[in-house]
Amino acid sequence: MSHTIERIHAHEILDSRGNPTVDVTVMLSDGTVASASVPSGASTGVHEALELRDGDHKRYGGKGVLKAVKNVNSLIAAALLGMDATKQRDIDARMIELDGTKNKSKLGANAILGVSLAVAHAAAKSKKMPLYRYLRQAFEIPFTQYKLPTPTMNILNGGAHSGWILDFQEFMVVPQQKTFRERVRCGAEIFHALGGLLKKKGFTTTVGDEGGYSVPLPKNEDAFKLVMKAISLTPYTPGKDVMLAMDPATSEIYDPKAKKYTLKVDGVKKTSGQMIEMWKQWMKKYPIVSLEDGLAEDDWEGWEKLTAELGEKVALVGDDLFVTNVERLREGIERGVGNAILIKVNQIGSLSETVAAIQLAQQNGYRVSVSHRSGETPDTTIADLAVAVNAEYIKTGSLSRSERLAKYNRLMEIEEELQAAGK
């Protein structure tokens, strides 16, 4: 059966923040049709691939993506028509070559990624395989068993995702139950307990971009105090049934000239060493198992110290630090920095490059967390990707907002499928 690409078409849709993004449909010669859409970040690292925006302020405040759409429908389509959709690496390499820039600034990472994901969906559908199985086959991923990732669920928002009411971006719960379905239940029950607690305290239960509650608090640490109180209102025991995680997104609050981190809510500025001491103190008080971007993206010396002092105790996840980029990750490995990587497909801009970063991480003992973005769509590709590569974690927001829940629902579906097949 032929899997030849016969048609590629992109158009502009809106993401979960109401901003334009790219949606791509691919049709194969056997009649298979599949689509994929591209997420968008708000708290973005400076080393990420370029998300091409129109810059026309008369339309969507300059955030339109018609340029990226045009690039798909003209340049990319012309280059890929007639290619075999099952040759994912060849297709991605052709687009990267066509772009010719280091950060995909010519065609746009959003244009390239949309096509990359849609092609994978079409190939999987044509082969009558679920995407996670197809990806394992397409990229010759050697695992013989499947495992479901542990969710890190953002239930309190701050930073760029919540109008800076807190300095730190995400306060998360990490359920420890045996099945993914029960982990989702645990997170949902804690989330609703937290909502009830906030109402009793007179807070509005507004949610941020990723579905976590967005409430102004006197101190950043008060977020974890609230979460711990919410857990106490459920049947779950902190440190046993559920752990904690956080993403302070420190690149957003770092002054590279002064080499200081500004915590406006707490009214202090801290050096890298002082930030590390604060994390150590918090870890003594709370069952924190994962710290993402505990220091800024280019604070390499700080990261070296952070890893030396905490690397044996918690997952030190590099997001802005590594940006799903093999070169950045390789430098981190050489410098002994971090012990886990956050994977965001749009940080690098193609499925093949994403998998390459995952495999390099795994080969060097780094844990993998597959992540959404703050600007999401109902697309569930990352759920299948996490299962395909046996990622330790998935990070896809809180237990509200349908674009987040779509990923959790897809993972529960996959779990049932694997259980039925005895795998």
Residues near 357 by beta carbon (within 8 Å), at least 6 away in sequence: 322, 324, 325, 326, 329, 341, 343, 348
What interhelical angle do 351-363 and 326-335 show, nearest 10?
Answer: 10
Q: H or E element: which one contains 110? A: helix 109-126
What does residue 150 show for φ and ψ, rounded to 5 degrees?
-85, 125
Query: Which residues, other chains included, contact 178 with Cβ-Cβ below 8 Å and sequence gap of 6+?
Result: none
- In degrees and rounded to multiples of 5, residue 194 shows phi and psi of -65, -40
DSSP calls for 221-239: THHHHHHHHHHHTSS--BT
The token pair at 369 is: 């967390």
Tell me the sheet residues that pair with 172. 154, 245
DSSP reduced 3-state for 138: helix
Helix locations, 150-212, DSSP H:
180-200
Q: What are the distances in angstroms from CA 65 to CA 13, 20, 206, 312?
A: 9, 6, 29, 44
d(CA 116, CA 36): 9
Active-site residues: which are they?
210, 344
CA–CA distance, 279 with 288 (Å, rounded to integer): 9
Q: Which two tokens stand for residue 373?
A: 């973005």
Residue with tokens 């990261």: 303
